[in-house]
Amino acid sequence: MRDRSIPANGPVGGSYAARYGHLDLFHDVDLDAISELLDTAQEIDIPAGHTVLEEGAFNDAIHIILDGELDVRLGAVNAAPLLSLGVGACVGELSILSQLNVSAYVVAVRESHLLVIQDDLLWSIIGASHEFAGNLLKVLSGRVRDNNNRLTVSINAQERFARASRVDSITGLFNRHWLDEVLERQRSRCAAEGRTFSLILIDIDHFKRINDRYGHLVGDDALKTIASHLHNCTRPIDLAARFGGDEFAVLLPGVGISEAKFIGERMRAEIEQDDVLCSFGGLRLTVSLGIAELDTHDSAQDLLYKADRALYEAKHRGRNCAVSASELQPIALA
């Protein structure tokens, strides 16, 4: 890094107006009126790859790019650039005004020439020129606006990623990860409020045969068809999810076992009467259902276990039927 202090008789290459007048910070500023202050500023050459500001370090100067390019990087000096700054942009002003350490690395992308204004000189220029103070406010407001925009983009991306982690990409229903979380919350809430709560597990009959015979794209269409019927047969407060593979789950808060069995039968009948539209025509689906109601001392796993036992019994009875856990004989303990 090479230091080139501005000589007493003014900047190299002409007047301050000619040299700095095009910079945003000096727009409409009477540079002749503050020439004595600018005489104490410095111009420095920065080699490519040099770190101008270090994240977490103390900073006491604002750096204005006269020539070259600087990258702003978060977390590490070799991280991907958050943004690139060209001629006229400045860095370091936020750490001076906030009296906080530098919040990011600033690295020269190529050889750059900078005007360096120390903090005491900066405050002197602010006091001497209202126009400079106003320009600095514009730069700061633009920096805040850009940060807000990046924050909004980041939040939106996080929301998309969060949704992707909870939603099944084929059916658009919530997935098993989501179900495990919500099932426990619903169980606790209904138990605390003394409300009934039922769970339906649904399995597509002979789904492997569909995939083996017609291919996975037809299998995906079958899954989408089931998901559509689950939407049609449930209330807005009911919660449907793809449990995994060809199995689905429907949570029914406030619904007892008898009503849940009725809802399950309606789902089964609707699905049986509909066809999955394929390139070769229509494909008829049937489903088996296991239904269970939450008992006072049941855990979420207890409820799942009871519904799964009922589903197994539905398959044992020949499939295309709904069985409730209340129809099963209790398991005898040895």
Of all helices (H) and strands (E), which one includes residue 106?
strand 105-108
DSSP 69: -
- Could you give the angle at which helices 216-232 and 257-273 cross, rounded to 10 degrees? 130
State how far the Cα of 100 lies from the Cα of 119, in Å rounded to an integer: 13
| 3-class secondary-structure state, position 203 | strand
Determine the angle formed by the axes of helices 176-193 and 130-166, rounding to 10 degrees: 90
205, 238, 246, 308: which one is catalytic?
246
What angle separates helix 216-232 from helix 207-214, to the nearest 10 degrees? 140
Strand ranges (E), 171-286: 197-204, 239-244, 247-253, 275-278, 281-284
For residue 121, the tally of other CB atoms under 10 A from its CB is 18
Partner residues linked to 58 by β-bridges: none
Sheet order of strands, 105-108 included? 51-53, 105-108, 70-73, 81-85
Q: Is 246 a catalytic residue?
A: yes
Torsion of CA 314, 319, 321, 326, to 10 degrees: 0
Q: Which amino acids are annotated catalytic?
A: 246
